[in-house]
Chains A and B, each alone.
Chain A
Amino acid sequence: MTNPQNIVRRSATTTTPPRVREEVEEVAKLIDVSKCIGCKACQVACMEWNDIRDEVGIVDGTYNNPTDLTEHSWTVMRFTEHENPAGDLEWLIRKDGCMHCAEPGCLEACPAPGAIVQYANGIVDFDSDKCIGCGYCVTGCPFDIPRISKHDSKSYKCTLCSDRVSVGLEPACVKTCPTGCIEFGSKDAMLIRAAKRVDDLKARGFDQAGIYDPAGVGGTHVMYVLHHADEPGLYAGLPKDPRISPLVGAWKGVTKPLMSAILGITAFAGFIHYVTKGPKEEPADEEVFGAEGEEGYLRDTRGEEAAATVRDPAKEEER
């Protein structure tokens, strides 16, 4: 739900968006992967609150169900069976969904003004009514999160329950999580919680435990506690150092004003040339063929000698 007074970033907009409240606390959702039991209550709560129902899909032989994010499934649990170096099986379960980046690639790439906004509290929200269905957000996202609906060609993803948060409630998935694996609060508070939890895990032998709050996208407003923070890729391909692709940066960054300016200057140069040098006027016969006209020209230049002297490029080259 759009809060039209607390926007810090607005897609395809070159002026300052409305942000009357300066002191807004940034929020964050903390997902402690080590506490997740894979019950999928968060998936159900997400469907319930947002009133979205995915099609009954297929079982692909894993616990992943649905098998991927869709326009109707804004969060999915991704199950990984990982055999650690000691030879033990670890069942890594990561709740996947929008990370609400501080520097969102989707928003950077979006060409539709206001279709993607970032609120002062850090939530990145899609205003689907302004979405044009181009899919640039999919191209821009470092986490492969947005999904274009096959029915209305609009892009959808987790809103971090911006409607609930704006009235002081926690997101639906947080509310329902039975193990306390998902927590919600100010980003500062969540970082403190996460640090404490990381200490616990380290004390229990997970030396590489850590917080996933990747700096490449300016940090995120959905963070993970990982037992193997040194290898986030273990968790169903969570990127180690996500950032907005340099290709997207080049496409949406400097090229936009630069190339627009060059096109404008090119057209302007044409105008200047026309009013200073003027056009090449339509030639009259006499200017081109002389007083005798075209027949005279043909007779003059088409004598054998004349043709060879005047028109031979090899000889003109020597001149």
Chain B
Amino acid sequence: MKHDEVKRNQRGQRMMLRYPASTRINHWTMAASFILLALSGLAFFHPAFFFLTHTLGGPVWARILHPFIGVVFFLLFVAIAASNLRYNLWIKNDLRWVRQIGDVLTNHDERLPPIGKFNPGQKLVFWCLVISVPLLLVTGVIMWRPWFAGYFPIPLIRLASLLHALAAFVAIATIIVHIYAAIWVKGSIRAMTRGWVSRAWAKHHHPLWYEDHVDQDLVEQRKARDGQGERPGAERDLKARE
């Protein structure tokens, strides 16, 4: 990578791509569907939220549209989850990061161990959704009137209804944490809207991912310096996955 080709932000910082356009489009379509699903779902869940059915055009339209939006959400989720699975596997440093959650919450980032493209909190969001979203789809289909519910025995529909509520609770709580984290960590919303983060941001929040990303630069530099092309530290760290 030639230095004059490097993208820079307004502060002159060198930038790197965190999310490609396909991921960003998927994410925000999914976000919009999730908001609609959560609002209409809460409306059916508790009378205090019933007025939220108007977000989908009234109570009957909410009942009609909610499951269809759910299917759209599920398909988008499968795509984004499959393409990000490898970044969400547990690595050794993640456990240390979790143990130092106090430092994370009090913004003492300098004390934290280096972590990969996603931190353990983000991985937890990922896995909570990987569990709850398919459960929501399956239980949702069992409850889905007038199309599918009639084919299932009523005791099963009862179980599905309870599990749907529990899974939705997990998913909504997870997304509340996810949204807050995006507000908390400056630069992450722009990463998902425009795709770019500064290299300083990457190094600060996701050192191993940063090092993997700049590896190619290093390889080039080393080749130029002493003819060696071995990939350095970051890859070894990733191999330390448990």
Contacts and interface: CB of A to CB of B under 8 A. Distances in A.
A148 interface: yes
Given A135-B143, A247-B158, A289-B203, A312 B176 contact: no
Contacts of A270: 176-177, 179-180, 183-184
A134 B66 CA distance: 11
B47 interface: yes
B145 A134 contact: yes
Contacts of A136: 44, 161
B63 A132 contact: yes
Contacts of B149: 135, 138
Contacts of B186: 279-282
Given A288-B200, A311-B233, A132 B60 contact: yes
Interface in A269-298: 270, 273-274, 277-285, 287-289, 294, 297-298
A309 to B, nearest CB: 10
A26 to B, nearest CB: 26
Contacts of A316: 93, 96, 113
Contacts of B143: 135, 139
Chief secondary structure at chain B's binding surface: helix
Interface stretch (B26-34, B72-80, B103-111): B103-111
> In terms of DSSP, what is the predominant structure of the interface of chain A?
helix
Interface string B63-104: 110000000000000000000000000001100100000000
Interface size class of B (residues with CB under 8 A): 35 or more
A167 interface: no
A267 B146 CA distance: 35
A257 interface: yes
Nearest to A281: B186
A236 interface: no
Given A134-B44, A153-B146, A317-B96, A251 B158 contact: yes
Contacts of A279: 183-186
B200 A113 contact: no
Choose among A133, A251, A263 the residue with the greatest number of B CB atoms under 10 Å from its CB.
A251
B107 to A, nearest CB: 6
Given A266-B173, A294-B199, A113 B237 contact: no
B184 A280 contact: yes
B108 to A, nearest CB: 10
Contacts, number: 180
B133 interface: no
Contacts of B47: 12-14, 111, 113
A132 B114 contact: no
Nearest to B11: A284
B129 interface: no
Contacts of A313: 92-93, 96, 113-114, 237, 240
Given A251-B165, A307-B233, A111 B50 contact: yes
B199 to A, nearest CB: 6
Given A111-B44, A139-B158, A274-B183, A285 B214 contact: no
B154 interface: yes
A232 to B, nearest CB: 18
Contacts of A62: none
Contacts of B166: 255, 259
Contact of A139 (B46, B157, B207, B234): B157
A288 B204 contact: yes
B162 interface: yes
B159 interface: yes
Interface in B2-55: 11, 13-14, 42-50, 53
Contact of A312 (B53, B105, B106, B233): B233
B57 interface: no
A302 interface: yes
Contacts of A287: 200, 204
Contacts of A139: 143, 154, 157-158, 161
Contact of A259 (B11, B161, B165): B165
Nearest to A247: B158
Interface of A: 12-14, 111-113, 132-136, 138-139, 144, 148, 150, 153, 245, 247-248, 250-251, 255-257, 259-260, 262-263, 266-267, 270, 273-274, 277-285, 287-289, 294, 297-298, 302, 307-308, 310-314, 316-317
7 contacts: A139-B143, A266-B176, A288-B200, A288-B203, A288-B204, A298-B221, A311-B234
**Which 5 A-B pairs rank lowest in CB-CB distance, beginning with the nearest?**
A270-B180, A311-B233, A135-B145, A247-B158, A12-B47
